[in-house]
Amino acid sequence: MSSGRLQDLLVRRATQALTEDEREELESLLEKGTNVDETAFEFAAAALHLSALRIDEPLPASLRTAVERDAAVYFSAQPSDNGDA
């Protein structure tokens, strides 16, 4: 089977229920060993779904504070874009 079929099955699994035959085919393809990150398809589908949600309420203050604190820690640990190390 081609990697295209593997990707098709991973997309289908992330977006809808697979039939029993499709599940077995996917398991067989995954057992053969691939360099495809199978969770990436599920994360991408979840991100697309979340991006379509319309949320009209503000983030709770405690959550906003936690996100800002974690972001500051994360980004302070990242290399600078201006060439500084």
Tens place of pLDDT per residue across the chain (85 aa): 468 899 999 999 999 999 999 999 999 999 887 788 888 999 999 999 989 988 888 889 999 999 999 999 999 877 766 655 4
**Does the global pTM surpass 0.75?**
no
CA-based nearest residue to 16, from 45, 37, 43, 39? 45
| SS3 annotation, the chain | CCHHHHHHHHHHHHHCCCCHHHHHHHHHHHHCCCCCCHHHHHHHHHHHHHHCCCCCCCCCHHHHHHHHHHHHHHHHCCCCCCCCC
